[in-house]
């Protein structure tokens, strides 16, 4: 069975300027939120990635018309006639659970296939349910489908999230915008993508304040007053951070454009702690390094803490740093699988529960390796650029889920990297 892989050769440097795409972890929710307005919503700066294609398919299954022109999606929800999502699409992408809140807001009910777990963890949705139950939503399990109903209508409530879950904050917020009365979400997620979603909902007629802080207040408005809008997706801070790690690894200077540097404060702090020089302007970040990489300790935490989505990329950096680094993964229960792949390249990583001890080595060697999730895959390709020889990264569908033209963007920065279809016998 032929397989498309990414082949990365030892490269001189990664230098120049790259413009990041719109944020995957915002765009998916913006598409879902369009269900709350009858008519044509236009979303710009949408990344060309497979997860967005799946979410667009989910909206079409609900009866929407979805058209893409380049990085712009036009979603006409005036023909939406179903509140049931198909299992085959939800099983492909758990983020499709993000239609739950808008469907409950629009129809007062929803039937969403229960999302499965994935490589990095169980990915439960209990906090989504607890949050929405405070708004009068009842849930039942029906043969793998979550059936939501609002027998007494959708009303405001006070929600205290046990953990600042991004998805739970988003689903609860999207249902609350058309609930009767005021909703307070306490211990809310503070990720920039939450703010981006709230900005779009407010442009549609919602009344949300406090998005981006731990306490979000939503004053419910009638569904009939919600209307379509035009919105520009926030730049992808994780894609930007991935390229900055590449510049830190190879020396740079490498500039990322199209991202708000404020969304990368913790990552920038850690790059500086590892011996990099980092300069920022209002819409770009530049990294360069001439001194040896220094070891660093990292704890992943909800925003503004260190982002778990940059953990694999920084682990790669620490494998070549002088000294020992400790990386603690506090957000997902199984997000160290990349370590085994890096070890195949000669890295020295020991995993103990949710801690990784990384002892810096002087060189990595090219090898055949597997992308275990999209961020790990992106990190491993970077590893192949600095490793001696050639690295072949398999399972690259993970990378295509969240990185638009990753190989093309890296090649534009001087990387010797390509996508190749190989036959079984070559694997």
C-alpha to C-alpha distance for 276 and 292, rounded to whole angstroms: 9
Which residue lies nearer to ligand EPZ by CB, 6 or 166? 166
Q: Which residues contact 31 (CB under 8 A, 6 or more apart)?
A: 43, 46, 52, 55, 56, 59, 66, 73, 75
- HEC assignment per residue over the chain: CCEEEEEEECCCCCCEEEECCECHHHHHHHHHHHHHCCCEEEEECCCCCHHHHHHHHHHHHCCCEEEEECCEEEEECCCCCCCECCHHHHHHCHHHHHHHHHHHHHHCEEEEECCCCECCECCCCHHHHHHHHCCCCEEEEECCEEEEECCCCCECCEEECCCCCHHHHHHHHHHHCCCECEEEEECCCCCHHHHHHHHHHHHCCCCEECECECEEEEECCCHHHCCCCEEECCECHHHHHHHHHHHHHHCCCEEEECCCHHHHHHHHHHHHHCCCEEEECCCEEEEECCCCCECCCEEECCCCCECHHHHHHHHHHHHCCECEEEEEECCCCCCCHHHHHHHHCCCEEEEECCEEEEECCCCCECCEEECCCHHHHHHHHHHHHHCECEEEEECCHHHHHHCCCHHHHHHHCCCEEEEEEECHHHC
Enumerate binding residues for ligand EPZ (CB under 6 A).
24-25, 28, 95, 121-128, 163, 165-168, 189, 191, 308-309, 331-332, 374-375, 402
Supply the minimum distance, in Å, between the C-beta of residue 158 and ligand EPZ.
Answer: 18
118 belongs to the catalytic site: yes
Supply the minimum distance, in Å, between the C-beta of residue 346 and ligand EPZ.
Answer: 26
Which residue lies nearer to ligand EPZ by CB, 77 or 187? 187
Which residue lies nearer to ligand EPZ by CB, 216 or 331? 331
Which one of 118, 215, 276, 425 is the catalytic residue? 118
Supply the minimum distance, in Å, between the C-beta of residue 188 and ligand EPZ.
Answer: 11
Supply the minimum distance, in Å, between the C-beta of residue 256 and ligand EPZ.
Answer: 17
Which residue lies nearer to ligand EPZ by CB, 194 or 417? 194
Phi-psi label, residue 9: left if phi above 0, alpha if psi -120 to 50, beta otherwise: beta
Which residue lies nearer to ligand EPZ by CB, 171 or 183? 171
Compute how many other C-beta atoms are within 10 angstroms of the C-beta atom of residue 126.
10
Phi-psi label, residue 350: left if phi above 0, alpha if psi -120 to 50, beta otherwise: beta
Which residue lies nearer to ligand EPZ by CB, 325 or 372? 372
Supply the minimum distance, in Å, between the C-beta of residue 144 and ligand EPZ.
Answer: 18
Which residue lies nearer to ligand EPZ by CB, 258 or 304? 304
Supply the minimum distance, in Å, between the C-beta of residue 168 and ligand EPZ.
Answer: 5
Supply the minimum distance, in Å, between the C-beta of residue 234 and ligand EPZ.
Answer: 12
- C-beta of residue 385 within 8 angstroms of C-beta of residue 409: no
Which residue lies nearer to ligand EPZ by CB, 360 or 383? 383
Supply the minimum distance, in Å, between the C-beta of residue 235 and ligand EPZ.
Answer: 14
- Which residues are marked as active site? 118
């Amino acid at each position: 069975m032929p397989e498309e892989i990414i082949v990365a050769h030892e490269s001189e440097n990664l230098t120049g300027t790259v413009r990041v795409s719109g944020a995957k972890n915002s765009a998916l929710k913006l598409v879902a939120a369009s269900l709350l307005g009858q008519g044509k919503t236009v979303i710009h700066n949408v990344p060309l990635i497979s997860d967005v294609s799946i979410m667009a398919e989910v909206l079409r299954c609900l009866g929407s018309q979805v058209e893409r022109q380049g990085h712009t999606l036009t979603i006409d929800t005036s023909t939406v006639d179903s509140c049931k999502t198909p299992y085959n699409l939800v099983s492909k992408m758990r983020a499709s659970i993000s239609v739950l809140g808008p469907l409950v807001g629009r129809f007062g009910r929803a039937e969403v296939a229960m999302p499965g777990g994935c490589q990095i963890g169980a990915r439960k949705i209990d906090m989504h349910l607890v949050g929405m139950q405070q708004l009068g939503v009842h849930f039942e399990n029906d043969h793998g489908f979550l059936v939501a109903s609002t027998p007494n209508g959708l009303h405001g409530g006070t929600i205290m999230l046990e953990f600042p879950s991004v998805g739970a904050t988003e689903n609860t917020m999207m249902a609350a915008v058309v609930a009767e009365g005021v909703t307070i979400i306490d211990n809310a997620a503070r990720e920039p993508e939450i703010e981006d979603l709230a900005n779009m909902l407010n442009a549609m007629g919602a009344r949300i304040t406090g998005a981006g802080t731990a306490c979000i207040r939503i004053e419910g408005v009638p569904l009939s007053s919600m209307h379509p809008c035009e919105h520009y997706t926030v730049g992808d801070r994780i894609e930007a951070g991935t390229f900055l790690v590449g510049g830190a690894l190879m020396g740079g200077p490498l500039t990322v454009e199209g991202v708000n540097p404020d969304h990368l404060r913790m990552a920038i702090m850690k790059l500086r702690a590892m011996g990099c020089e980092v300069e920022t302007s209002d819409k770009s970040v530049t990294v360069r390094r001439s001194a040896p990489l220094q070891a660093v300790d990292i704890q992943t935490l909800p925003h503004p803490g260190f982002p778990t989505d940059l953990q694999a990329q920084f682990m790669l950096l620490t494998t070549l740093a002088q000294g020992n680094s400790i990386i603690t993964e506090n957000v997902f229960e199984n997000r160290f699988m990349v370590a085994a792949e890096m070890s195949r390249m000669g890295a020295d990583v020991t995993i103990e529960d949710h801690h990784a001890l990384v002892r810096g080595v002087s060189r990595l060697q090219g090898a055949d390796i597997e992308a275990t999730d999209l961020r790990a895959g992106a990190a491993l390709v970077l590893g192949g650029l600095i490793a001696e020889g050639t690295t072949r990264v398999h399972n690259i569908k993970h990378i295509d889920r969240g990185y638009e033209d990753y190989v093309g963007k890296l090649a534009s920065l001087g990387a010797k990297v390509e996508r190749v279809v190989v036959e079984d016998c070559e694997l």
